[in-house]
Amino acid sequence: MSNKGRTEIATLGEFGLIRHLTDQLELKNDSTVKGVGDDAAILSYASKQVLVTTDLLLEGIHFDLTYVPLKHLGYKSAVVNFSDIYAMNGQPKQITVSLGISKRFSVEDLDAFYSGVKLACDVYGVDIVGGDTSASLTGLCISITCIGEGESGRIVCRDGAKETDLICVSGDLGAAYMGLQLLEREKRIFRGEKDFTPDFAGKEYLLERQLKPEARKDVIEMLRNADIVPTAMMDISDGLSSELLHISHASHVGCRIYEDRIPIDYQTAVMAEQFNMNLVTAALNGGEDYELLFTVPLSEHDKVSEMKGIKVIGHITKPELGNYLVGRDGGEVELKAQGWNSLSE
């Protein structure tokens, strides 16, 4: 945040600020009958089922503005909500954006945040249809609600996994967590030095995974094109272990995943070694990857194995067999929900 060309929010007032941020919005979806500008938006989902998800992000808990640019924060705030809709095998269509703002933020700061939200909405074809602003005494608070649509019979929940189903993940895991560790390390160095240049050379992928994640719309399209409806699905926001245990609990099953099948990027492995961290632990528990974890019937093995960027990492078992990671040596370690939990801070 900079004081150059700073416009105080008070000069616009609440309604002036909302008009300033939303004046140029263009609607993209037929289901959006009326967007920003009235007491409520009007949406029409005549033949579809409606999906709704909400995320609350608090400064100092979910993000640190020491190293998170406001435009990136806006983009990420929107994308993590889109990811929840995709994780239900749906399509995000509208969002509302509500902000609690302290006096240290200027109009230009909010322009930067909103430019990130708008960019995400342009990339994923989503309409901004409302929201609210309020004063905050504790920094920046962000609440985004996303509305999506799903087809009856194709919406996927957590509770449908069956014994012998294959467990699949998209992309790679642990990179976002390593990006966070890198940013936190450079922040600590920055606080102790006057003339400081962060050392991010060769680590761009890790930073992008943390600061500008993408929702896996492409995976949903691949599954549709292959005529596959997963039996259970979640996005990986709190860590692979936690999400697997959510599916196991909701579906009343157990699982086995295999250490040598967990997809991990080379930069993630290098960074874990530098931090003297266990690589598999980072991949299992890091979180914020926003990849898709899903189960499919064993009969779909050939189809999912041919999909680019999809890895079969294990299978569903009987509930009495528990939830375990099978190591490279064949030994088994019980999975624990050790992902990030804001309420434990």
> Do 32 and 132 belong together in one domain?
yes
> Do 132 and 188 belong together in one domain?
no
Query: Is residue 237, in this structure, part of any structural domain at all?
Result: yes
> Do 80 and 127 belong together in one domain?
yes
Query: Is residue 155, in this structure, part of any structural domain at all?
Result: no
> Do 141 and 235 belong together in one domain?
no
> Do 102 and 172 belong together in one domain?
no
Query: Is residue 158, in this structure, part of any structural domain at all?
Result: no
Choose one of 95, 124, 150: the last residue of a domain. 150
Q: Domain total for the chain?
A: 2
Query: Is residue 4, in this structure, part of any structural domain at all?
Result: no
Cα separation, 327 vs 335, whole angstroms: 12
Query: Is residue 2, in this structure, part of any structural domain at all?
Result: no
> Do 248 and 304 belong together in one domain?
yes
pLDDT of residue 339: 55
Per-residue pLDDT of the chain (345 residues; tens, 9 = 90+): 656 678 887 787 766 777 777 777 788 988 889 888 777 888 898 889 999 999 999 999 999 999 999 999 999 999 999 999 999 999 999 999 999 999 999 999 999 999 999 999 999 999 999 999 999 988 999 999 999 999 999 999 999 999 999 999 999 999 999 999 999 988 877 666 655 567 788 899 999 999 999 999 999 999 999 999 999 999 999 999 999 999 999 999 999 999 999 999 999 999 999 999 999 999 999 999 999 999 999 999 999 999 999 999 999 999 999 999 999 999 999 999 875 454 454
> Do 62 and 187 belong together in one domain?
no
Choose one of 150, 183, 217: the last residue of a domain. 150
Query: Is residue 160, in this structure, part of any structural domain at all?
Result: no
DSSP 8-state assignment for residue 261: G
DSSP 8-state assignment for residue 165: P
Find the helix packing angle between 204-211 and 266-274, rounded to 10°: 100
CA 333 from centre of chain = 27
> Do 170 and 218 belong together in one domain?
yes
Choose one of 118, 150, 182: the last residue of a domain. 150
Cα separation, 172 vs 264, whole angstroms: 5
> Do 174 and 316 belong together in one domain?
yes
Query: Is residue 244, in this structure, part of any structural domain at all?
Result: yes
Query: Is residue 119, in this structure, part of any structural domain at all?
Result: yes
> Do 273 and 338 belong together in one domain?
yes
- Rounded to 5°, the CA angle 128-51-41 comes to 35
pLDDT of residue 166: 98
> Do 177 and 326 belong together in one domain?
yes
> Do 60 and 141 belong together in one domain?
yes
| Domain at 82, CATH number | 3.30.1330.10
| Domain at 176, CATH number | 3.90.650.10
Q: Which range marks the domain in which residue 335 is found? A: 166-344
pTM of the model: 0.91
